[in-house]
Structure 1
C-alpha cells in the first residue's frame, strides 16, 4: 500500500498538483494539500499550462508562471524567436479519430516539436515539484518516489488513444506503470463534492451532494479551459455512485471566450490583426492574453459596469496601415459604435458586448444539457454540479441558473480545484464509480465458416481446408450504452496459432457508433487499437487454447490472455496510438 496519493490535474489552461498521506486522508477527507504557485501579482493554487523549451528543442527552461515571465522577457528584446513556447496544447488530444504516437505540435511562433515530448516536460516538471515538496516536508524521514500512488486526470470524453498518450507521457516522465491511475475529471470532482457540506458552496444554494439520499440523480458539469465534460450519476450508497449515461460534451471551454475576443479585435481593426500582433510584438500579445484572462473572470452579468482592457500600442499602427484611419474612427464607424470605446490605452466594452463573448459557448452547453434532460433515464435529474475553472465564471453560473431554475445548481467554493482534489480521493477510493456506461460498441474482428445462415453482407472470403471462411466480421464485445460494472469481463472464444512455429498472436480492437455494424468495414466502425500475446510453439497441436479476456468498466480497457492448458495468465497492453 502506498504511503500517499498524489494527483496531477493537467488542464488546458491551468494545471496543478495535490496530495494526501494515507493516515491524513482517512482521518479527514478534506485534508488534501495543494501548492501555492507564486505569480507576479497574486498567489494561485494552479499554474498556467505553459512550457518553455530552449532553442535546442530538448531542454525544459521553465513551466507555468515562470515560463510566461521568461518568454515575455525574451520577447521584449526580440530574443524569443528560437525558443519553443507552448500553451493550451492539451486540446491536441481532443480528437475523435484518435491521436498518433509521433504527432507533432506547434508552439506560438509556428515551430513544431513531437507532442509526446512537450507533454512529458510538463508532467515531469509537476511531478518533480511535488516530490521535492514532500521531501522537504519529510526532512529526516525515509521517503522514496515509489511510496507515491499517482493519479492523473483526463476528460471523460477523451477516447482510448488520448488516454494512452497521456499515460505514455507520464511513464516517460518517470511515473511507473503500476503506480499510475487515470481518473476521469468529472468523476473525480463528483467524488470530492460528495463529502462537501452546504456551507462550502458558492451563492445561496441550500443543496449539496452530501445531503442527497440514495437514488438521487445529478449531472456533473465539468467546464474547463478547453472542453466541457458532462456525466450523469445516481447515488447508490454513501461511498458509491453509478453512471447513467455515457460521458458527453464538446470543445466549449473558457478558451472559446478568448477566441471570441480575438475575433472582435479582428472585426474592429481588420482581419489578421491579432496574428500580426503575435508576429510583430510577442511581448504585447502575451500582455493582452494575460490581461483578458483576468478580466474574463471579473465580468458580472448583474453589473452594468464597463470592462476595460489595456490595448497594445501596435493596434493604433495597424488601424492606420490597414484602414488608414485612427482606431477611434474605426470603432465609431463599426457596428460596435456606442458599445465599444477607445480611451487612451484601453478598450472599453459595455455589458452587452462583454457578455456576447460568452454567447456561443454557453449556448452550446445549455443546448446540450437540455437535450440530455430529455432522455428518459435522466429526466428526473435533481441537480447540476458545476466544477472546473470555467465554472467559476459568473456569466456561466448565471446562465445555467436561469436556464435550469427547476434544478438545484451546486457550485463548490473551489470549483476550479474540485477535479484536482477529487483525483486524490479517487486514488483512495477507485470503486466510487460502481458502474460506467460504454461510450461505443466495442468489438473485434472475427472469422467463421460460411453457412446458409450467414446474415451479413458479402465479405472477404478465403478458401480453407474446412471450407470457405467469412472474414472481417465484427464480433461485439460490449454494446454502446450498456451498463458496465467495474470488473466486467468479456471472454471470447479461444484462439490458436495458424501455423507451426508461430510465437505470437495479434488481435485488433474496433469501436463502432453504428449499432447495426456486422463487418469491421461497415460505416461507423473503425479500428482503434491492436494487441498481441506470446504463444507456446510446443502447444501448437493442442488447438484453440488461448482465451482472451477483455475487462471493461474501468477508466481504461484492460486485456488478459489465459492459456487454458497451463492456466498461465498474460496481461496484454492494447496499443491505441498506432
Structure 2
C-alpha cells in the first residue's frame, strides 16, 4: 500500500488486494509485521547458544519522511498488535536512516576518492541532499552535519508518488494499449500466478538501461485471452498501431519485444518528475550551497534513473550512489537504533496549534466568527500556533499550555490539536487546516479546579505529550488518538 503525503489512515481503513477483495489495513500491516517478527525470532534462536526473547530485542520500524503523524501512529499500533512492546519500538524516517548510513559506509570503488572527500566535507558542516527512491515514493530531504557530530534537517521532507511502481504502471498501460483496457483484470481471474509472473519478469528488466532489444515473455494465459478477442493475437493487433516500429511480438517464443529507446522512454515521465522535484528544492532559500546528492533506496539502483540524474546535474552537482543503495535504509535503521540522538534538529512539515477564542476585534475579525461568551464577545475558531511550518526545532523541544476544568466535577480535560499546511493559518476551519486529534487528560476526583499543564514534545520522529498538575507536580496520564475516523479531513 502506498501512502502519499496527504493520505491518512484510520482504524476503519481498508486495503484491496489484486483481486479487488478488501481487508482492514490494520490487519494487513499487523500480520505482515508479525510474520517478520516470527521469522526474526526463529532465526535468532537457531543461531544463538542462549535462547532469545522479544524482551531482549529493540526494534526499529522505518517509514517515509513524508508520512504524517497519523500514519506513524498507525504503524506503531500495527507493530504493537503484532507483539512488539511499545517501549522497545522506535520509528525511524527512511531518508534519515539512509543519511546516517552514509556516514559509515563504503561507496562503490569508482567513487573511492570522492568518498574520502565527501566524508571530510561532512565533518565540516557540509549540506547534502538525500534522495530516497523506493517502490512507491520518492522521499527527499537536506541534511547538514553540526559541530557536535549530529545531523540537522535543513528542509522539511518532501516527495511524492514517483517510485518504481510508476514504471509498472507505464508497462501496464502499454499492454492495455495493445490488448485492450481490462485485460489484466481478466488475466487475474484466469491465472493470478501468470499475472504476478509477468511483473516479476519486468522487475528484473527495470534495473538496467536497455542497450539492445528488451524481451518480456507473455504468459500463455494472456496470449489466449488476446486471441479470443482478435484472431492473430498480439501480432495482429500491433500491425495497425503507431508503436509497431518500436514494439513487436515473437509468436514462436511468445515474447513482447521493445526497442531500447522505447523501453527507456517508459521511465521518462518518472525521471522528469523526480528532477523537477529536485530542481524545485534547489530553488529554495539557503540551499544554493548544496552541491551533493546521495541516491538511496531500491529504485535508485536503476541504471536509467542514475544516468538521467548524472546527465542532468553533471558539472553542477555531485551524485553519490552508495554500494547496495537498496539496503541503505535498513542498515541505517540499525545505526539509528544504536544512535537515537544522532538527529539533533528537524524542520516542522506543518504548523501545529490549538483552537482559541480571543476577544473579538471589530473590523479585523469576520462577523461570522463573532460569538458571545458570558458578558463579552469572542472570535471563535482562531488557530493559536504552537510550532510553525518550516521552523527548525531541536529534538525534545517542548511547548506547554495551562488548562483548567470549566465545569465542576469535570472528569476529563480535552484539547483539540490542529495542523495546517500553511505557515501562518488564521482559523482552524480554513482550507489546508485539519484536526489531528484530541488530547485527553483524566482529572482525578476532587481536583477539578486544579490547573493542568499540557506539554507537546516536538522534534522526535513522533509527536509526544505529557501532562502534570501544577502545584503538586503530579504526572497525569494522557491519550491522543489520531486514528479516529472523525479526525479525517473531508474528501
Q: Shorter-chain TM-score: what band?
A: over 0.9
Which residue of structure 1 aligns with residue 470 of structure 2? 564
Structure 1 residue 452: Cα displacement = 4.2
Cα distance in 2 between the residues matched to 1:205 and 1:363: 29
1:496 aligns with 2:404: yes
- 1:231 pairs, out of 141, 153, 168, with 141
- 1:218 pairs, out of 122, 128, 150, with 128
SS in 2 for 1:232: strand
1:137 aligns with 2:47: yes
- RMSD of aligned C-alpha atoms? 1.9
Report matched runs for 1:1-150 at 5 Å.
89=1, 91=2, 93-94=3-4, 96-139=6-49, 141-150=50-59
Structure 1 residue 461: Cα displacement = 4.6
Report matched runs for 1:153-552 at 5 Å.
153-197=62-106, 200-201=107-108, 203-204=110-111, 206-208=113-115, 209-212=118-121, 213-237=123-147, 239-297=149-207, 299-301=208-210, 303=211, 305-343=212-250, 344=252, 345-405=254-314, 406-448=316-358, 450-452=359-361, 455-492=364-401, 494-542=402-450, 545-552=451-458
Structure 1 residue 219: Cα displacement = 0.4
Task: Give TM-score scaled by structure 1 length.
Answer: 0.79
Which residue of structure 2 aligns with residue 555 of structure 1? 461
Structure 1 residue 568: Cα displacement = 1.6
SS in 2 for 1:377: coil
SS in 2 for 1:207: helix
Structure 1 residue 490: Cα displacement = 1.0
Cα distance in 1 between the residues matched to 2:46 and 2:350: 46
SS in 2 for 1:378: coil
Cα distance in 2 between the residues matched to 1:277 and 1:548: 56
What per-residue deviation string (whole Å, max 9, x for no partner) do you get for residues 341-368 of structure 1? Answer: 2112111111111111111111110100
Change (3 A) 1:150 1:511: same
Cα distance in 2 between the residues matched to 1:556 and 1:244: 18
Task: Give TM-score scaled by structure 2 length.
Answer: 0.93
What per-residue deviation string (whole Å, max 9, x for no partner) do you get for residues 186-226 of structure 1? Answer: 000110111124xx326547423433232211100000001
What per-residue deviation string (whole Å, max 9, x for no partner) do you get for residues 524-556 of structure 1? Answer: 2111212201113423344xx111111111101
Structure 1 residue 486: Cα displacement = 0.4
- Equivalent pair of 1:207/1:408 in contact (CA under 8 Å): no
- Equivalent pair of 1:201/1:410 in contact (CA under 8 Å): no
Change (3 A) 1:537 1:398: same
The 4+ residue runs of structure 1 with deviation greater than 6 A are: none
Cα distance in 1 between the residues matched to 2:428 and 2:302: 44
Unaligned runs of 5+ in 2: 485-491
- Equivalent pair of 1:300/1:394 in contact (CA under 8 Å): yes
Number of matched pairs: 478
Cα distance in 2 between the residues matched to 1:526 and 1:427: 32
Structure 1 residue 234: Cα displacement = 1.0
